[in-house]
Structure formats: structure tokens, C-alpha cells
Amino acid sequence: MGQGAVSSTHPRAVREAIFARAQERFGGFIRDRINSGTARRDRDSVPFSRELQREAIAIGLANYCAPAGFATDTATPDGAGSARDWGLLLEWLGYACDDLALPILLGYRHTLSTMLYDLGCGKGVSGAGPQPHVIDRFVKPILSGERFMSVAYTEGADPFSFRSSARKVDGGYAVDGYKSMITGGLTADWILAFVGNEKRDLMVVVIDAAHPGVKIEARDLMGMRSMGVARMDLDDVFIPDDHVLIRSDGLTYAQQFFNGRRLHAPCAAVGRIQHLFERCVADLSERIRYRLPVSEMQSVQARMGQMYVAIETARTVVYDALARYASGGCDPVWDTSITVSKYFAVEQATRVAQSLVYVLGGAAYDRAEPYERGLRDLQALIHIAGTQATLETDLGIKAIAAAQQRSMKSRP
């Protein structure tokens, strides 16, 4: 795809510069501290240690594009849009890092700290005024690596019938409930939990993971095993008033969080599938069958062509969402182009991972190779930041409504 046709603020215009800088600054860390331990973490379900996560902060990787004043590097060639640059960095990480859980975890924490920062500055989606204590008490320790925070929303219920509930007590709230999956929950100090209040609305509270009544246990998952996904049980847990960040309409904040995740999670997926594709080409080029490298067999070439189209179109759609977001053209709560991007990129990446199995033969099934782990890890994206099934339903509802509106308008 030609570079000349894109505006200077488009992701394609700065991609190479960001990739080169990332490789120079973080390539050694990824090779020595992440890739060397990927197979073991996956085999034994070992989460990224807190020390490793702190290293990612110390070298400027985790906060590469953090909220204003905390970022280590937003000086891109044209200086535009840190959300765009962060997306490109995540794509590079997905490519360079054998463990897809790292960019997914870093992206998740980035979305969370940005949301809390906006809330603290009074730029939150509900329009409430500034809450500086949110920045001092939570955002600063998170961005410095002193504390880690994760998000607990999912609990096997709809937002209007949450079973996790908070009741008012002296000086705060008492919370009971259960949350089924929490990314980074095993290494988090704080859990930002969405719970029902007495008015059957959602409130958002910060739970201290070490508090009596909080039980956090590892989940045994198909993939993303170093992401430290946990379940959480809450039994009469006291939440002081200053840990209640949002008292009502928490659902809007949950949507904002998932919207942010939908913007950035696919970037890492595109990077990972690009890496697996290239690795597959290298493998097949060296494998000789019937006196020919497998990569020169037409049936394989056709399949690789299909995969190439899938990856390129996924990247185009993801970049379109990044460019729109950077130019201020996206809805912060539920954006159609961001949702299309997550849905489409995940569909393409998971299909390509499956197609690699088709052309690779037994190597695709071998745990010593990266393909089967890639296949398992990518499956997680079907579920996170809104399942593919719910996104296609929501997009269908929107598309039908828009078409109906157009037809009403065109009636005489």
C-alpha cells in the first residue's frame, strides 16, 4: 500500500518510525525478559510477575503514551495523537513479542489509567466535575508501578440485574458478589469493580485485593495464560467512601472502558498474526516436498494470498479507527468505527490463525512452535471488550436503524 496517498497524521505515515524506535528502545527487553520465558509461562500458567510489569514501566514501555504529564514518549514525527501512536506501539509489540498477553495486558492497563485520569480531571463521560483525589490516590501510584489495578465487570448477569451489590453502611459501603474473569487480577492490588447499588444502578468502587472478605483465585484458561486472569468473590467487603469513584450510571463508564479496549486490543492482534504469517512463509520456504519448496505450490500460494488480504484489510480497518479517534471523530462511549474495527480484525486474525494450521502441517500442532499458542491466545479476543456475537448484534441494530431512517427520509 503506497505511503504517498496518506495524510501525515494517518497511522501508515508514522508506522515505520514508531516501529524502528520501539525496536531500538524495547527490543532487548522483549527478547530477553519476555520471549525467553513465554513457553514456560504458557506451559505452567505463570502470570507476568509484578517485577516484570514494573520493568515495563521503568523502561518507558508501559507508559509510552500515558495521560499528559506521565507519558515517557509522545514525540512522534508529526506530534499527532497519542492514541494512534499507542495503537502502533501495540501492533509492534504484538509482532515482536511471542506472548500476546503482554500487549493485551499493557493496553488494558493503559485504557484503565486513561479513564481514571479523565475522571480525575473532570473530563469523564458523565460530565461530573474534577476529582483530583482520583489522580493522587489512584492514577499516580498506578502509573509509577507502585500499585496495579484491574477491572471487574463480568459476573454472568446483565447490567440491570447485577448480583454483586453494595449497601450503605457507616463511612462507606459493604459489598457482596462474584466476578468471573479479571485480567491481571492475580497481580492486582486494587480491583475497579462495577457493582449494583440500592437503586439498581451501577456504581464503581475500588476494592483492595488484600482486604478481608476478598478472595481472588486463578482461572485455568485455554490461552493468555501469563495475563493472570482471576475470579473474585466478595463477602461483606467494606469499601470506604473515598474508594467509591462513581455513584451512579457506572454502565456508561463500563462502556467507555470497553470502547477504549476495542480501539487498541485489535492492534496487537494484527501485529501477532503478521508475525505468525511471516514465520509460516519462512518455514514453508525451507520445506521441500516433491522437489519444490512448499511455498511454491500454487494451492499454498493461493491460501497465503487469502491470508495476506485478510491481514491487510484488518490493518486498514484498525488504522481507520485509530485515525478517526486521533482526529476527535469518535464517540468515547460506543463508537461504530471502533466497534467495526475490533469485530473485523478479530474475525480476520482468528481465521488466519486457523488457515495457518491448514498450510503448516504437523508443525501447527507442535507446542515447540508458536502457531498453536497464537491460535489459542487469539481466541481470547473473541470474548474480551464485547464478544463478537454481541458486537455483531449491536452493529446490526445500528445498521438496520440507519437504513430505516434513510428510507423514511427518502419517502415523498
Ligand X SMILES: Cc1cc2nc3c(=O)[nH]c(=O)nc-3n(C[C@H](O)[C@H](O)[C@H](O)COP(=O)(O)OP(=O)(O)OC[C@H]3O[C@@H](n4cnc5c(N)ncnc54)[C@H](O)[C@@H]3O)c2cc1C
Nearer to ligand X, 294 or 378 (CB): 378
**Cα→Cα distances 167→76, 177, 203, 241, 247, Å:** 48, 12, 11, 12, 12
**Cα→Cα distances 275→99, 103, 271, Å:** 12, 14, 6
Nearer to ligand X, 147 or 287 (CB): 147
Nearer to ligand X, 6 or 157 (CB): 157
**Nine cell digits for residue 58:** 521503568
Nearer to ligand X, 181 or 330 (CB): 181
- Closest distance to ligand X from the beta carbon of 142 (Å): 15
Nearer to ligand X, 140 or 383 (CB): 383
- Closest distance to ligand X from the beta carbon of 260 (Å): 13
- Closest distance to ligand X from the beta carbon of 181 (Å): 4
CA dist., res. 184 & res. 202, Å (int): 22
Nearer to ligand X, 77 or 156 (CB): 156
- Closest distance to ligand X from the beta carbon of 152 (Å): 5
| Residues near ligand X (CB under 6 A) | 150-154, 156, 181-183, 221, 224, 229, 380, 383-384, 387, 389-390, 393
Of 64, 86, 73, the closest CA to residue 15 belongs to: 86
- Closest distance to ligand X from the beta carbon of 179 (Å): 6
CA dist., res. 373 & res. 38, Å (int): 10
Q: What is the DSSP string of 5-51?
A: TS-TTSHHHHHHHHHHHHHHHHHHHIIIIIGGGHHHHHHHTPPPPHH
Tell me how many degrees the CA angle 227-228-233 measures, rounded to the nearest 5.
140
- Length in residues, the chain: 412
- Closest distance to ligand X from the beta carbon of 154 (Å): 4
